[in-house]
Structure 1
C-alpha cells in the first residue's frame, strides 16, 4: 500500500509539474478552446494544450466551474490522454481571492471536502507562479474517481480552507464531466515532430 501511495503521489506531482495550466505558466506555449456540447448549467468544458520543451504537446480536457461569491476562484477536473484519462482535480485562485495569502501557506493535510452528507480529506500539492495559486489533489486513482463520482452526483461542494471556506455549485457537473471525459477518450494524438526537434536541439548546442 505504501508503494502504491508513493507512486500515486509521484504521478500527481509529475502531472502538476508537466501540466501547468496556461493561466499559471508563462514559460510554456499554450492554447485553450471551448468544447462543443460540454456546457451545462454552472459547468463548462474546454481543451487545454501545452507545448512542452521536448517538442510534444500535452492535451487536457477540463470540466470547470467558478465560485460565484469570489472572483478568480475555480474548481476543475482534468482528463489527459497522456495519463489514461484518469481524473485530476485542481483549484485555482488568483490574487483577487480573499484567501490568497493563507492558501500559499496551506499544509498538505488541510483540504476537506463536503458533498452532501459525504466527507473527503486529501492532501494537496500547491503550485505558485505570478498572481495565481493552484492546488492539485494528491490521491490514488480510486480515491480520485470516488471524489469525481461524488462531485457528479451532488448539488454543491464545500471546502475548508484557511481563513474561510469556499463553495462551488455542482449543477451541471455530471453531464459536463461525462462529456469532457468522452472527448479525452476519443482524443487523437498530434504528430510528434521528432526530426524538427533534433534540428532545434542541434542548433541550440551549436
Structure 2
C-alpha cells in the first residue's frame, strides 16, 4: 500500500517512515511537515493511506483529514498523535479518519493499524476510546467553540468580535457560557480546559 506521513517534527516523521518502510507491504510515497501540504501530496503520490499528526502548522491533522475526505475519498486516514485527548478522537472520526492511535504504539501494532485502516476497518486506541465514551461529547456549542478558539490568541473582546463578525455583546455572552460549561476561572482558563479535552 502507498502511505503518506504528515508530521511537523522531522525526526518523528523520519522515524515513522523508516520503521514502516521496513514492512514488505508498505511503501512510504510521501512525507510532509505541514497540514496544508497533505491534500496536494496525497493526490500527487496517489496515497492509499495518510498517517496524520494532529498539531501541525498550516492546518491541523483533523482539518487535513476533512480535506482528504473530499479531495481524495479513496485515501484512508489514520491519526497518530502524542495528544490522546478524547475530544480529538470524536472530531477526527467526524472529519473522516478511520483510525486514531497514539505515537507510543509499538511499531508492529502501528503497521497492523495501517493495514487494517487500508482494508476499511476502524482502528482506535482502546484506552482512548473508553475515556472518550466515559467523557461524552463537548458541552460547547459550535459558536462557543469558535469564540474560545479566537480567545486563545489573547485578543480583546473587540478583536474577537471583528474576527468572527459578531457584536461585542454576543462575544461576551458566548465567552461567559463557555467559561461556565468548562468551569474555567476566566476565558484563558476555559480555552486551556477545552484544549486539554480536545474540544478545540
* TM-score of the alignment, normalized to the shorter chain, above 0.5: no
In which range does the TM-score fall when normalised by the shorter chain?
under 0.3
Structure 1 length normalisation: TM-score?
0.27
Structure (1/2) with the larger strand percentage: 1
Structure (1/2) with the larger helix percentage: 2
